[in-house]
A and B are shown apart, each in its own frame.
Chain A
Amino acid sequence: MSHSPPTPRRDPFAGLRTWFTMLVISLEERLAYRGDFILGTLMRFLPIVTQVFLWTAVFAATSRSDIAGYSRTDIVAYYLLTMVTRAFSSMPGLAGGIARSIRDGSVKKYLVQPVDYVSFLLAARIAHKLVYYAVALLPFAGVFYICRGYFPPLPDAVTIAAFVAALGMSFLLGFFMEATLGMLGFWFLEVSSIIFAYMLVQYLLSGHMFPLDMLSGIQTGITGVSVADLVRWLPFEYTAYFPAAVWLGKVRGAELVRSLAIEAGWVVAMAVACRIVWRRGTRRYSAFGG
């Protein structure tokens, strides 16, 4: 009996099809955990409630009608919008999961099989997000309906389009930053403290904690350079502050175009960084033992 080895299917879209299958199977896997997911999603609404109470108390204690250009209603709208942005840019478990797969050796599978680990992670993360949105859509809609009075009138179509673009890129930026972080596991046995430090910096400098333009009044000591100017040089603001600011009409015209371009630049830079770290990491892994 003769047996001929199969010739691999030649198909220009094979890569895309593989990726799509990874997406669908990741979706199925996420759905296996729906109970855990629903609870986790609802818990995420708690911090925003405390933030709203905190700022209500701050405004009650002062006679000013605005703080750094934000009125009480502006602040509430801002926090609700950063919550939307974080729903795109935050990557719970991504870095930790990558580091774990390196530590326990399951990353080997991606060295043996003809499959790209980063593409796989991206598919899995998109699946993760889609399931999350499906679960979170209703509570989100409810909160926004209740809080509709805090928002300015609906912005124009260009602003909405820019907001959507900023959100999409914030997802990619968050993904590549955390994936890169997780791959430091190739060098360090334990990366949880690095991840913790990153989360802290991210929380402070992304605008998740307070609107970043509040920092423009704080001087660095270098003449004409405020803390806000320094923060603007970092990628973090695109994962929370920037999309919210776009929706609220704080970034417009040429500045909006420039900021979107810079965000796109960060996405590309982090995607490249992620590739480089993966390549060097696997080379090191292969050399040191696997």
Chain B
Amino acid sequence: MHNSSGSESAPAPTITVANLAKDYRVYDKPEGLRASITSLFHRPSRLVEALRGVSLSVARGEFVALLGPNGAGKTTFLKLLSGIITPSRGTAHVLGYVPWERANDFRRRFALVMGQRNQLWWDLPAAESFRLHKEIYRIDTPRFERTRDELVDLLGVRKLILQPVRELSLGERMKLELVAALLHEPEVLFLDEPTIGLDVVAQHTLHTFLSHIQAERQMTVILTTHYMKDVAALCKRAVVITGGSILYDGSLEQIVDRFTTHKVVTLDLEGTPEPSQMDRFGFPYEIRGPQVKLRIDRQRIADVLPEILRSQQIRDVSVEDVPLEEIVAELFRVGADRQAAEVRP
């Protein structure tokens, strides 16, 4: 299902991953005191496959969305690519380095931003954390000042960098986290749910910022998120992971083409229709006052639509793809079913 992008003569990909797998040993503690005492001496454990042989490659300058339900292995995947954890099997190269060897030269060239983790010093203004990053990442002074000013202006947070971080709102902190992560101009950026808990305005600011900076720097970005708005605004390519395996890897538009069998037709009628009027078309529908939503097979829409239009008093009509959220939710379900089928003896 792999979908390689770029031409034949393209340079070596920035990220290559082959059969990457990670198992965790988890310990079960049965309920009850007796079990607790027994578990002091023997703890029953089992192996959980967080990631089961993932392969993909990402070219320089791609912005990839990593989608999947909770526990699908997204964060495990990013932790592997950042070198925080070592895999059980398989290989990965980022910028030519094996991430979990944690070479300093590698660590100076990428950044990881986790939505719920702080790299900024809590009790100090962000400007101090930036200064420390300047030294840690060995950024020369003119370049540091230029990059810092550019980033804080793009995000509109110049006023905030002299205020202790603990006094800032979640959205403001996230913006400053991003500035800190981008000061050393990483070539590769991993974003783990950067918009979690943010309001719509802050989300939008981040979208504009990320797409601008990514394009300008030709940065290679992998983003995990649960918000389809993030994906639609930023990514051309989407990788769907469920149960530790890749279910889909390809362009965002193709998800819609491949995984939807129908379109949603919305009719605004003169007056509320009777169900009998809608039953005759033979498609699932939903009536809400004078508005009706029909889910119609894509192949048949050209035949069916004229008939509907003829038979009803219509004020307005629209034909739309199924929303991305629904498609992805459906994909997650498919993945879960497939997994259940595998487990069954």
Alpha-carbon distance between A14 and B140 when the two chains are bound, in angstroms: 11
Alpha-carbon distance between A6 and B183 when the two chains are bound, in angstroms: 10
Chain A binding site: helix, strand, loop or mixed by DSSP? helix
Residue pair A21, B132 in contact (C-beta under 8 Å)? yes
Residue pair B185, A6 in contact (C-beta under 8 Å)? yes
Q: How far is the CB of B7 from chain A (nearest CB, A)?
A: 19
Q: Which residues of B contact A106 (CB under 8 A)?
A: 117-118
Q: Which residues of A contact B109 (CB under 8 A)?
A: 5
Residue pair A5, B187 in contact (C-beta under 8 Å)? yes
Closest to B144 in A: A6
Determine if B250 is an interface residue (Cβ-Cβ < 8 Å).
no
Alpha-carbon distance between A17 and B140 when the two chains are bound, in angstroms: 12
Closest to A17 in B: B135
Alpha-carbon distance between A25 and B24 when the two chains are bound, in angstroms: 38
Interface segment, one of B29-37, B83-91, B301-309: B83-91
Residue pair A29, B216 in contact (C-beta under 8 Å)? no
CB contact list, B107-160 vs A, under 8 A: 107-109, 111-112, 117-119, 121, 123-124, 128-129, 131-132, 134-140, 143
Determine if B102 is an interface residue (Cβ-Cβ < 8 Å).
yes
Q: How many residues of B contact A (CB 8 A)?
A: 42
Alpha-carbon distance between A33 and B124 when the two chains are bound, in angstroms: 11
Closest to A14 in B: B138
Interface segment, one of A110-118, A146-154, A159-167, A230-238: A110-118
Q: How far is the CB of B12 from chain A (nearest CB, A)?
A: 16
Determine if A255 is an interface residue (Cβ-Cβ < 8 Å).
no
Residue pair A290, B84 in contact (C-beta under 8 Å)? yes
Closest to B48 in A: A289
Determine if B164 is an interface residue (Cβ-Cβ < 8 Å).
yes
Residue pair B112, A112 in contact (C-beta under 8 Å)? yes
Determine if B295 is an interface residue (Cβ-Cβ < 8 Å).
no
Determine if A1 is an interface residue (Cβ-Cβ < 8 Å).
yes
Determine if A9 is an interface residue (Cβ-Cβ < 8 Å).
yes
- Residues 13-27 of chain B, each 1 if its beta carbon lies under 8 Å from chain A, else 0: 000000000001100
Residue pair B85, A290 in contact (C-beta under 8 Å)? yes
Closest to A20 in B: B135
Q: Which residues of A contact B123 (CB under 8 A)?
A: 29, 32-33
A25-B124, A105-B117, A286-B85 known; A11+B107 contact, CB < 8 A? no
User: What are 27 contact pairs spanning A and B, CB under 8 A?
Assistant: A1-B216, A6-B143, A8-B108, A8-B137, A11-B138, A14-B138, A21-B131, A21-B135, A25-B128, A25-B129, A25-B131, A29-B123, A108-B117, A109-B117, A109-B119, A112-B83, A112-B84, A112-B111, A113-B136, A114-B108, A283-B86, A286-B84, A286-B85, A286-B86, A287-B86, A288-B25, A290-B85
